[in-house]
Amino acid sequence: MTAPFVALALSLAVAQAVPAPEAKGSLPSPAKAPAESVKQWATEVAGMFMSGKLDGIAARFDPRLATLLSPEAFKDGWVGIEAKNGKLKSIGAPVLKDAGPLDIAVMAAAFEKVEWTLGVAFDVQGRITSLRFTPMSPNAAANAPPPVEYRAPPYAEPKKFRDSAVKFGDEKWPLPGTISMPAGKGPFPGVVLVHGSGPLDQDETVGGTKVFRDLAWGLASQGIAVLRYDKRTRVHGDKVGSAPMTVKDEVIDDALAAVATLRQTPGVNPRRIAVLGHSLGGYLVPRIAAADKHLAGVIALAGSTRPVHELIQDQLDYLVENGAAREEDVAPMRADAAAIQAIDPAKTPPAGRVMGAPPSYWLDLKSYKPAVLAHLNAIPILVLQGGRDYQVTSKDLDGWKKELAGDKFATFKVFPRANHFFVYGEGKSLPVEVMKPGNVDGEVVQTIAKWVKGLPPAK
């Protein structure tokens, strides 16, 4: 799962903001920090840039940002920027820009050759959650490396489907989405896509990948109607940030509304609707199915089955062991994981939030066993796992297989070369991988399409 609302981290080497890799257990952020505090912190960071105290800046990184951008990579990237644009000459006073769930401090940054803007965001503790340099002038744009560009995969055939905008949800939480409808009369089977954690858009854009756009276009090209939508925490982050919630509020209610919308769409067979969840979405598809008894099936892509605290600790172990983070960088997240584990349903919940979420959120998940519920639902389920995924691993796949052993409605498949986003690669997967352009592999799309088209109608 991704970091909270502002899941943006700067790679100074490419000078662009990208969503941070998913880290299980990261959930809605607390309310905004006071405006004056944000301005003060931004001024302090500007001073450190001007005096060359890069270690001081890196020391203020939020743990989630630190796992993506090590101090060494941060320094190397900064050296590269100054090599192309000249030394940093000045940084202006911060101006706050409303970005929904938080304020971003924006400052003019003048280099010897060009002018840029520096955007910095902080959590309520004053830790840096994102950094972003963007060009202000044509010269800066010319000197900047090209942005990560999305390229449609070869299995997406535009002549075989059309995209149409749709809006659904109640008056308080309306959400925009897109239905990718196959050409022809239908009726077609349908799939609703449910995101991982974080304020994701309807394409599930993370760095150089757009998992849901790939899936929507790939499946629609094969005769399956697909609905994808912007997540509530992205569209309504200003209202969600300080509100108590569980995954029902964050994910499940909107997924059910999306299913109802697709079910009522002309050209779609209402009895052949499946829900596909990725990461957090995959973890929650059994709960979605339990709330809608008329689904034809569910698909879990990289869906976990273990307790949240255990998943977090395993992820952090992997990052430290493979040089993607230092132990001191991840220590705060280890403490958060321990705090989640310590929350006791039999006792009065502690005050405050853990990893941006209220205790009620974690209490709700403590009693949730996705694989057990999938067995009780007794509807078709397809579980897909990436062999190179370090965020949700074979331990989780084993959890699905143990509880669904002997259930003829359960299907499992591992893609050895796939990472957490089902993009193929070689060697060990590390956070920096997600910054590169990539598409969901065609083998994955083909597997899903074949399974969905083979589903019998729901009763």
Residues known to be catalytic: 279, 389, 420
CA-closest candidate to residue 265, choices 200, 201, 191:
191
Helix (H) or strand (E) holding 261: helix 253-263
* CA–CA dist 210, 227 (Å, integer): 15
The Cα–Cα gap between 198 and 349 comes to 24
Q: What are phi and psi of 238, to 5 degrees?
A: -65, -30
Q: Which long-range contacts (CB under 8 A, 24 or more apart) does 44-47 make?
A: 45/120, 45/128, 46/91, 46/94, 46/107, 46/118
**For the chain, what is the largest distance between any 2 Cα atoms, rounded to a whole number of angstroms?**
69
Measured CA to CA, the distance from residue 214 to residue 257 in angstroms comes to 22
Residues 232, 245: contact at Cβ < 8 Å? no
Return the structure tokens found at 92. Answer: 């202006």
Residue whose entry in the numeric block shows the structure tokens 């970091």: 3
Query: What is the C-alpha to C-alpha distance for residues 368 and 278, in angstroms, rounded to an integer?
Result: 17
- Which residue, chain included where needed, has tokens 């957490």? 420
